[in-house]
Amino acid sequence: MEYKFIEFGLSDGVATIKLNRPDLLNSFNIEMGWNVQDALKKCAENNDVRVVIITGAGRAFSAGQDLAEAVPKDQPLADLGKILDENYNPTIKLIREIEKPVIAAVNGVAAGAGANLALACDIVVASEKASFVQAFSKIGLIPDSGGTYFLPRLIGFQKASALMMMGDKVSAQDAEKLGMVYKVFDESEFSEKVKELAERIAKMPTRGLVLTKKALNLSMNNSLDDQLEVEKQLQVAAGNTSDYKEGVQAFLEKREPKFNGK
């Protein structure tokens, strides 16, 4: 697929998906949604990809749904169920299911589905200039793209409820304090810090990270008994990777490990 609304790159095991409609704050039209899904699928299939970054071009991460597409002038309203079925729901599922760590590098404002797409990623880092807005309530919608699933689990039911009803803008600094964001980087060094983080992850035992992701996915709804069983099964799988052997050997030989991701 030729990408009209994203930039896609791969270097040293790091794949980057850059949302690219900067004049409209990288708001999602259906084609951008298809571009993102296609790029995620390509990352899933490519063994050279050890980590994926999702970020935005220009001053925004993403302002969510392109409202001009959802409510076209002098035309019937778009079918919102279809938009969720074709765009946001598959994208969120791909992010959670892809067997690679996914970093949201939130470079600027993340609103509506844009905010919730970021929160669905494995690691969320933000520029000091970034902000998060559950913008849905301002236009009479409900939070989608997994927002009602992830946000209460990240920051607690009450805070999530208030942010979703009020639609307040949360600064990157407050998002970090609330637990929505792993780290906030200075604007001037944001790209460099994101690159460092991704390159570090790309050299880690990818299979182990992916099994950790699976365990965390399942922990969202499991009982402790079920989760202990999941941990046992996934630990056995992790113990069968060549990276586990390399990690232990390197430790015993007091040298840096060289992981191949398998």
Choose, by CB under 6 A, the member of 13, 101, 112, 205 that binds ligand T3D. 112
**Piece of the chain touching ligand T3D by CB under 6 A; list 9-17, 19-27, 40-48, 183-191:** 19-27
Q: Which is nearer to ligand T3D, 144 or 243 (CB)?
A: 144
Please say whether the dihedral angle defined by the alpha carbons of residues 184, 188, 190 and 196, taken in this order, is positive or negative: negative
Q: Is residue 182 classed as helix, strand or coil in its secondary structure?
A: coil
Interaction residues for ligand T3D, span 70-99 (CB under 6 A): 70, 78, 80, 83
Residue 33: which H helix or E strand, with range? helix 30-45
Q: Find the shortest distance in angstroms from Cβ 121 to ligand T3D.
A: 16
**Do the Cβ atoms of 117 and 88 come closer than 8 Å?**
yes
CA gap 238, 259 in Å, rounded: 13
What is the pattern of x (binds ligand T3D, CB under 6 A) and - over residues 26-65?
A: -x-----------------------------------xxx
Size of the site for ligand T3D (CB under 6 A): 23
Looking at the Cβ atoms of 150 and 259, the one nearer to ligand T3D is 150
User: Residue 73 is inside which H or E element, if any?
Assistant: none
Interface residue with ligand T3D among 6, 14, 19, 25 (CB under 6 A) is 25
Cβ atoms of 73 and 37 closer than 8 Å? no
Residue 165 is a binding residue for ligand T3D (CB under 6 A): no
Structure-token pair, residue 231: 């941990």
Type of residue found at 117: L
| Of residues 27 and 35, the one with the C-beta less far from ligand T3D | 27
Q: How far apart are CA 169 and CA 138, in angstroms?
A: 12
Nearer to ligand T3D, 112 or 146 (CB): 112
Q: Which stretch binds ligand T3D (CB under 6 A): 4-12, 22-30, 175-183, 207-215?
A: 22-30
Strands in 183-185's sheet, in edge-to-edge order, are 6-11, 14-19, 51-56, 102-106, 123-127, 183-185
| Subset of residues 129 to 158 that bind ligand T3D, contact rule: CB under 6 A | 133, 135-136, 139, 141, 144
Task: Give start and end residues of each alpha helix (H) in 203-258.
Answer: 206-219, 224-239, 242-252
- Nearest distance from C-beta of residue 162 to ligand T3D, angstroms: 18
> What CA–CA distance (Å, rounded) separates 149 from 144?
9
Which two three-digit tokens encode residue 206?
A: 């990818």
CA–CA gap between residue 227 and residue 217 (Å, rounded): 10
What's the min distance (Å) between Cβ of 43 and ligand T3D? Answer: 23
In the complex, the residues that contact ligand T3D under the rule CB under 6 A are 24-25, 27, 63-68, 70, 78, 80, 83, 109, 111-113, 133, 135-136, 139, 141, 144
